[in-house]
Amino acid sequence: MPEYSSQFDLAVISTKSNDSKIQLWGRCITGESIFLEIGGLEPYLEITYSTEQVPSDINVKLDKVKRRDDVVEVIELGEKWTEYGVKEMWRVMMKSSKHQDRSSFRKENINDWLFYNADFNHDKRLFYDLDIGTHIRINCQVIDDHRYPVDIYAKTDIHNLNNITPFQAPFVIASFDLETSILDNRILCAAVIIDQLDTSGQRKEIAKEYTFSGTEIEIMKGMTNLIRDKNPDIITGYNIDNFDIPRLKERLEYLTKENDTKTRSELFGWSRRAHENEWDMIPYRARNSKKWTVVGRCFIDAWWEARMVLRPKRETLSYVSQLLFPKRRDLRKLEIDTSKIDEEWEKRPDEVLEYCKRDALLPWEILDELRVIPKKESLAAVSKTSLDVVINGTTSNWIDSLVIRLADRNNVAVPMTKRYDRSDQIAGGYVHEVEPGVYPWVAVLDFKSMYPSIMINNNICRTTMIDDKNTQLPCNESPDGIKYLQKSQREGLVPKLLLDLMSQRDFHKKEMKNALSNGEKSKQIFHDGMQYAVKILMNSFYGVFASTFYRFTHKNIGSSITAWARYNITEIIRQLEEENQNVVYSDTDSIFVSVPMKITAPTKRPNTELGAKKFDEAKTELVKFGKELAERFTEDAAELEFETGLSAFFSHGAKKRYVGRMIWPKEEMIIRGYETRRSDSFTLLTNTMKSIFEYILDGNQESAIKEVITLIKEVKKGNANVEDLVISRSCKAFDRYANPDGLPFVQAAKKRRDDHGLEFTPGMKVAYVVTKSSGSNQVVEPWLVEDGGEPVDTYDIDYYSKRLAKALGRITEAFGWSENELLTGTRQTTLFSF
DNA sequence: ATCATGCCCTAA
DNA sequence: TGAGTTAGGGCATGAT
């Protein structure tokens, strides 16, 4: 018996299965990287007969399975719930954990058996069967063998892993950038930044910088040695998934022979493997996938993370950096002309290296600023899985992690993922019509976690759904006629998980408040991150269960959730309208109600003492009304909250587009849907719109219209600042469009690439200015200032004045000023005359 | 001129 | 390891 005398607390980065062993890579709380081989978890899948009743020749069939070469033994499990009723199940212990071996077993036995717990990678069983999460304590035997690029190489078995309270692991981060030749794609130089987090999720020290130049082989070997030496858990960079990693791979193919595994490993063996002949020593990606994988580490693309969090108008590294770090002057000047990089590298290599170093550091600074890594780790902890599942996996993988382990413990058979046919979509949320105009004093109420609450309160789950419409069992029946067993009969897996997540969230919120009052800043941030991760995960359940492919879903589930949602909200609207209350707007889980104000008060707090007093009285009235309404309509089935008090609400009459002056709980203008929120609008329009919303909410329509008319006059004269007219939209690969040449952003992307020698990455935003729109087609010029280019110096006067008039005219039309009247600046029948 | 379609982006 | 959902606005193009 080996002695497992060493003990480590660690966060799991990733796992893999290798024969009957599970391989696990992690980072210890004390800072070391660790690689573990875990024994004792044999691969298996589960089977039951495909007929309704137990077939008479069941023993013959079982023997046939037992005698197979790929089967070790067959274990009787007893009864489990399946979607076809309760059935006897057997566990088939298999020799191989390989996906293709399991798949051929299934193929060869498809006539006799149904398969369960059969279609996910074996290493996931470590989490499900041992019920462990991201942060674990292990007892192990440290092996004196330094082949693996980690600080600790150890062995253990499944009896030596235990859950511990989540913490923030001191992950090591590498961030890199390449400069490559435009002439021949060669790598000219590279820079790598190495840094580490501390256990409060902060950066530990000043990052260390490394640069590489010389021959391509020297550069690639140098980087690989550094990666294996400094041993980062996370490798980042800007747009690395689309550019840097594929370029390194390309150069590897160019520089080495396919069978020269030794050299290939020396050049690009970034994985945490020991042997140069492992097939996954080199980063790789699945067929048809954009996502790169490196065994034992994680790639995170700073571009993608910044895009998701910030939704920036433009997506170049320089634009995003200036957005996040506006005070940093060193980001403003772009010393290197990347469109002439070969020449620059020839003439002033030192400056190019400095530039490369800066572009290696920035992606890490972006991730740090957005707290990307602590957020991923919190989400991993809440979904009880490895870091890489959260980084590289899908929403359904997170849900799997919680659902499968619970199913296993409740004798629910875990079905394989299958695709449901759903040619017609399920119906979604209810959206109320909104009449154009300004509404003073509006209370906004909304249902707290609406879809999760509906799932909990009606016990909605695949395991509680009853097909028999005439069942006599006590059920909750959805408005669209689907029946779910009541909790007293059988508690659904999903409702149980959601309830548990709700109480977890309450716990972290409480801890967060405690930490705040004790002045424990990092503890407060930690619990805030955890409660937020719980929220994200809870809100993911509906989407996965309403999808057409998840293993535990059914088309009825999604449709009954939304049916209940529509019923709940429209029932409240109906009751309010019956009482002659004015429901101004409603979308899915929210209701906007006019407050029956007894006093007349200005909607903006005046400076005069008397006016201010009136305003405050009205605000008190608003809050009272909102709270009473929330209380009145809150039932055990659904908690309605008074979320926001508005002194004024405006919409021009389109759903999902409104503005409001929030005065409770805090003071702020809220804008939804309008161009102001859209990343494909231009600054002149969004700024003007924001400004006129301020006027409109204050009841000053005259100033709003004056501003628009003045602006359009100036734009017509050609006085607009071209930078404020830049439009930016994302652009896919050109062949993905039915008629690419008809699209202005495709034109811009092509000009960017062909006329200016710059990269175009499919999926990224392209910025442009419309310079001519005579005839049917627009003529556009790409905007390349963030790429080191010159600004466009002209714009199409008619196009921009018309677009402004159209977008702003929709709004001013509510006060009688149409698009054409804004363009001419005059009106026949005047409300105001200018 | 009007309508249908393709596309992007947002609210929830 | 292929994969969260629907509702909705608005721009541009192209057919009728």
Backbone angles phi, psi at A164, to 5 degrees: -135, 165
> What pLDDT digit, counting tens, does each position of A240-294 carry?
999 999 999 999 999 999 999 999 999 999 999 998 888 899 999 987 788 999 9
> What pLDDT digit, counting tens, does each position of A336-367 carry?
888 889 999 999 999 999 999 999 999 999 99
One domain for residues A422 and A569: yes
One domain for residues A712 and A570: no
Confidence (pLDDT) at A46: 98
Mean pLDDT of chain A: 95
> What pLDDT digit, counting tens, does each position of A157-172 carry?
999 999 999 999 999 9
Other residues' Cβ atoms within 10 Å of the Cβ of residue A435: 12
Question: Nearest nucleotide, C1' to the C-alpha of A738?
Answer: B6
CA distance A438 to A793: 39
A16 neighbors A295 (Cβ within 8 angstroms): yes
Question: Nearest nucleotide, C1' to the C-alpha of A671?
Answer: B11
Confidence (pLDDT) at A276: 82
Model confidence at A570: pLDDT above 90: yes
Q: Determine the Cα angle at A487 with ends A484 and A490, to 5°.
A: 80
Question: Nearest nucleotide, C1' to the C-alpha of A803?
Answer: C11
Question: Nearest nucleotide, C1' to the C-alpha of A311?
Answer: B9
Chain C positions with a protein C-beta closer than 7 Å: 1-14
One domain for residues A590 and A687: no
Phi-psi region for residue A460, left (φ > 0), alpha (ψ -120 to 50) or beta? beta
A603 neighbors A699 (Cβ within 8 angstroms): yes
Q: In the structure, how many helices (H) and strands (E) does chain A have?
A: 23, 29
Name which of A51-55, A91-95, A332-336, A533-537 the model is least confident about.
A332-336
A224 neighbors A266 (Cβ within 8 angstroms): yes
User: pLDDT class for A742, splitting at 50, 70, 90?
Assistant: confident
Distance (Å) from CA A711 to C1' B2? 31
Burial A636-645 (b: 16+ CB within 10 A, else e): eebebbbbbb
Distance (Å) from CA A736 to C1' B9? 18
One domain for residues A10 and A72: no
Question: Nearest nucleotide, C1' to the C-alpha of A548?
Answer: C3
CA distance A237 to A252: 19
A211 neighbors A67 (Cβ within 8 angstroms): no
Model confidence at A301: pLDDT above 80: yes
| The amino acid at A34 | I
User: pLDDT class for A4, splitting at 50, 70, 90?
Assistant: very high
User: pLDDT class for A774, splitting at 50, 70, 90?
Assistant: low
Distance (Å) from CA A803 to C1' C11? 10
CA distance A724 to A689: 13
Model confidence at A109: pLDDT above 80: yes
One domain for residues A420 and A525: yes
- CA nearest to nucleotide C1 C1': residue: A286
A245 neighbors A299 (Cβ within 8 angstroms): yes
One domain for residues A759 and A809: no
Closest C-alpha to A299, from A344, A234, A357, A349 = A234
Confidence (pLDDT) at A440: 97
Does the CB of A679 fall within 7 Å of any strand B atom? yes
Q: Determine the Cα angle at A750 with ends A748 and A756, to 5°.
A: 90
One domain for residues A735 and A715: no
CATH of the domain at A766: 1.10.132.60
Distance (Å) from CA A675 to C1' C5? 24
Distance (Å) from CA A455 to C1' C7? 21
Name the percent of chain A in helix, strand, coil, to the closest 5.
40, 25, 35
User: pLDDT class for A833, splitting at 50, 70, 90?
Assistant: very low
Does residue A380 fall inside a structural domain? no
């033994």: which residue's tokens? A73
CATH of the domain at A237: 3.30.420.10
One domain for residues A197 and A59: no
Does residue A355 fall inside a structural domain? yes
Q: Which of A135, A167, A199 is the last residue of a domain?
A: A167
Model confidence at A323: pLDDT above 70: yes
Structure tokens at A72: 């070790």
CATH of the domain at A48: 3.30.70
Does A637 or A354 have the greater pLDDT score?
A354
Confidence (pLDDT) at A324: 96
Other residues' Cβ atoms within 10 Å of the Cβ of residue A77: 16
**Element holding A320 (H helix, E strand):** helix A317-324
User: pLDDT class for A386, splitting at 50, 70, 90?
Assistant: very high
Confidence (pLDDT) at A325: 96
| The amino acid at A235 | I
Does the CB of A678 fall within 7 Å of any strand B atom? yes
Structure tokens at A200: 């409060």
Number of domains forming the structure of chain A: 6
Q: What is the pTM of this model?
A: 0.96
Distance (Å) from CA A542 to C1' C5? 7
Question: Nearest nucleotide, C1' to the C-alpha of A587?
Answer: B12
CATH of the domain at A642: 3.90.1600.10
> What pLDDT digit, counting tens, does each position of A576-590 carry?
999 999 999 999 999
Does residue A387 fall inside a structural domain? no
Does residue A669 fall inside a structural domain? no
Distance (Å) from CA A833 to C1' B11? 37
Distance (Å) from CA A673 to C1' C8? 10
- CA nearest to nucleotide C6 C1': residue: A428
Does residue A61 fall inside a structural domain? yes
Distance (Å) from CA A743 to C1' C14? 13
CA distance A378 to A384: 10
Distance (Å) from CA A545 to C1' C5? 9
CA distance A523 to A503: 19
Question: Nearest nucleotide, C1' to the C-alpha of A540?
Answer: C4
Handedness of CA A257, A263, A268, A274 (dihedral sign): positive
Q: Which of A56, A89, A121 is the last residue of a domain?
A: A121
Backbone angles phi, psi at A447, to 5 degrees: -75, 135
CA distance A598 to A17: 70
A749 neighbors A768 (Cβ within 8 angstroms): no
Query: Rounded to the nearest 10 degrees, what angle do helices A395-409 and A521-545 cross at?
Result: 80
Distance (Å) from CA A826 to C1' B1? 25
Structure tokens at A290: 């954009």
Does the CB of A305 fall within 7 Å of any strand B atom? no
Model confidence at A834: pLDDT above 70: no
Does the CB of A432 fall within 7 Å of any strand B atom? no
Distance (Å) from CA A151 to C1' C16? 72
**Element holding A197 (H helix, E strand):** none
Does the CB of A275 fall within 7 Å of any strand B atom? no
CA distance A809 to A794: 25
**Chain A 306-325 residues in 7 Å CB range of strand B:** 311
**Chain A 212-231 residues in 7 Å CB range of strand B:** none
Structure tokens at A755: 């006329």
Does residue A744 fall inside a structural domain? yes
Q: Which of A664, A693, A712 is the last residue of a domain?
A: A664
Parent domain of A601: 399-664
Distance (Å) from CA A496 to C1' C6? 26
Model confidence at A233: pLDDT above 80: yes
Other residues' Cβ atoms within 10 Å of the Cβ of residue A635: 10
One domain for residues A535 and A570: yes
A123 neighbors A15 (Cβ within 8 angstroms): yes
Distance (Å) from CA A311 to C1' B8? 14
Closest C-alpha to A638, from A707, A574, A588, A696 = A588
Model confidence at A828: pLDDT above 80: no
Distance (Å) from CA A242 to C1' C11? 29
Q: How many CA atoms lie within 13 A of A160 on its CB side?
A: 21
Does residue A301 fall inside a structural domain? yes
One domain for residues A147 and A267: no
Does the CB of A431 fall within 7 Å of any strand B atom? no
CATH of the domain at A18: 2.40.50.730
Does the CB of A715 fall within 7 Å of any strand B atom? no
Model confidence at A206: pLDDT above 90: no
Does residue A62 fall inside a structural domain? yes
One domain for residues A107 and A237: no
Chain B positions with a protein C-beta closer than 7 Å: 6-12
**Coil, strand or helix: which one is A671?**
strand
> What pLDDT digit, counting tens, does each position of A478-499 carry?
999 999 999 999 999 999 999 9
> What pLDDT digit, counting tens, does each position of A181-196 carry?
999 999 999 999 999 9
Confidence (pLDDT) at A832: 53
**Chain A 446-465 residues in 7 Å CB range of strand B:** 446
One domain for residues A758 and A641: no
A14 neighbors A388 (Cβ within 8 angstroms): yes
> What pLDDT digit, counting tens, does each position of A648-670 carry?
999 999 999 999 999 999 999 99
User: pLDDT class for A333, splitting at 50, 70, 90?
Assistant: low
> What pLDDT digit, counting tens, does each position of A427-471 carry?
999 999 999 999 999 999 999 999 999 999 999 999 999 999 899
Does the CB of A771 fall within 7 Å of any strand B atom? no
